[in-house]
Structure 1
């Protein structure tokens, strides 16, 4: 664990979510949080992979410090995104938290088999959802040590 909190530097977070309500709630939760961050949003699995691999419209995208990934996405689902990340030695180091409405045990198991860093089920209640995002922020961005670009050389 790092002795210096990450809050000193801005954190890039990639949210991969196609539900406008969940996007809005996530933005609100991070805005109210205590970590300086930039929240990037893409709405399907193809865009997510383009962002993560800095392709097409995302050639200048920053490497995210953390990815929040829904499983039920158009074009490519979350499992396909996890699989492609896992196959790439450089990109597999980016922490990916599955953030989904699915409570199915097979989805949990498959996500971890594909090297997800965590699996969270979205609460239905908006206040609980915001609380969960803020707890996630505190844990992953304050307590955990995330890899930096210099750790990857």
Structure 2
């Protein structure tokens, strides 16, 4: 299990509305042996509520990393990204765009809004699992994730 330096598991928030993509991501994490806490919200508004710890998410831990689809109901992924990166309490959380869009304007806008990476979902399940394993190797093994602003 990948852990924080203090031994706590890394909290990952997956923001994805497609049930098939959620299932495939969960399977890829399981096959890649990413045994961390993976939480799922299925629209942009729920993701914002989760991140701000509002409503039904009042007692959740803030995620250490967000995997964000761009094409979401209620609030778009780009709007979620903009809000996260403009909020002092959230802006240190790495946000990785995980989407099917290969549109250059989406890539440019994501980086202009300070995403930490942009990954295009492969259609082939084996290629998707390989991408998740590469994600694990980089983001959860090599990268040092920041603590929350209050030091926890």
Contact kept in structure 2, 1:45 and 1:73, CA below 8 Å: yes
Aligned to 1:73: 72
Runs of 4+ in 1 over 2 A off after TM superposition: 4-9, 32-36, 149-153
What is the total number of aligned residue pairs between the two structures? 150
In the alignment, what sits opposite 2:81?
Answer: 82
- The CA deviation at 1:131 is 1.2
What pairs up with 1:51-62 in 2 under 5 angstroms?
A: 51-62=50-61
Q: Name the CA distance, whole Å, in 1 between partners of 2:43 and 2:145.
A: 25
Q: State the Cα RMSD in Å.
A: 2.0
Cα distance, 1:6 vs. partner? 5.5
User: Unpaired segments of 5 or more residues in structure 2?
Assistant: none
Question: Which protein is richer in helix relative to its size?
Answer: 1
| Unaligned 5+ runs, structure 1 | none
Q: Deviations over 1:54-80 (max 9, x none)?
A: 001100111101100000000001110
SS of structure 1 residue aligned to 2:11: strand
Q: CA deviation at 1:7?
A: 10
Q: Aligned in 2, Cα 1:5/1:48: closer, same or farther, shift over 3 Å?
A: closer
Scaled by the length of structure 1, what TM-score is found?
A: 0.91
Once residues 33 and 11 of structure 1 are traced to their aligned partners in structure 2, the CA distance between those partners, rounded to angstroms, is 15
1:129 is aligned to 128
Map 1:11-22; keep pairs closer than 5 Å.
11-22=10-21
- 2:146 corresponds in structure 1 to 147
Partner of 2:93: 94
TM-score by length of 2: 0.91
